[in-house]
Amino acid sequence: MKPYAHDEEQYGEDDLRGGNPPEVFFEAGQIAEIELQIDNHSVLLGGEDNQFCERKDKLYFRAMKKSAGILLFQKAEEGLLFFLAHPGGPFWKNKDMGAWSVPKGEFEEEEPLAAALREFEEETGVLLPGGDFLELSPVKMKSGKMIYAWALEHYVDPAIVVSNEFELEWPPRSGKHISVPEIDRAAWFSEQEALEKIIEAQQGFIRELAAHLGS
């Protein structure tokens, strides 16, 4: 078995950090059922969060990542408003349309809603109160990552948002690391604005919530 990693740019639009799912290659015909140790976690091939792919004479297994987040909304005279976050870091610095996201983050064994609330606080510095959370249909990014989201009617002032930071190798493969915020800003958008600003795969969250609320 040998690990294989994609270039960061290939998955950059799918993940705030441009992270890549771990992959392991096997010769075709070798696999029946096998358990892998990836990042100290046991992964059984064929699970619903995992994926087999074929490439030339090899099969490879990708342990799919998953994220959870919270989509805040407000009912205003002019219609629904949605709270979105813009990812930090040099890759996203000059990207706007189709770059914003529901505040979210990755999780593994944690309960998804608990992970969504934790990640919202980490990315915005805001602890959300309890409330009537509406579970939205999960969406799949181009990389295969599953995104789970819950909607909540609640106001947060974008001016008070303070994100945590992470270490990023930049430029790629340079050996140099910089600290960048998970998100560099947040804002409220109308339904049409939100559909234009949000990453394409996450548009389903906006449309589903708007339909549910009858906008």
Task: State pLDDT tens for residues 143-200.
Answer: 889 999 999 999 999 999 999 999 999 999 999 999 999 999 999 999 999 999 999 9
Distance CA 145, CA 64 (A): 6
Name all domains of the chain by residue range, CATH numbers in brackets.
2-63 (no CATH), 66-212 (3.90.79.10)
pLDDT for 64 equals 75
pLDDT for 184 equals 97
Strands (E), the chain: 2-4, 23-27, 35-38, 41-44, 50-55, 58-63, 66-76, 79-87, 104-106, 134-135, 139-140, 146-153, 165-169, 177-181, 183-190
What does DSSP assign to residue 77? T
pLDDT for 143 equals 85
pLDDT for 142 equals 86
pLDDT band at residue 63 using 50, 70 and 90 as cut-offs: low
Could you report the per-residue pLDDT of 3-56, keeping only the tens digit for each? 323 223 333 434 444 444 444 444 444 433 344 444 444 444 444 444 444 444
Report the predicted TM-score, pTM, of the whole model to 2 decimal places: 0.74
DSSP alpha helix (H) spans, 29-145: 112-124
pLDDT for 4 equals 26
Tokens 């709270």 -> residue: 83
pLDDT for 192 equals 98
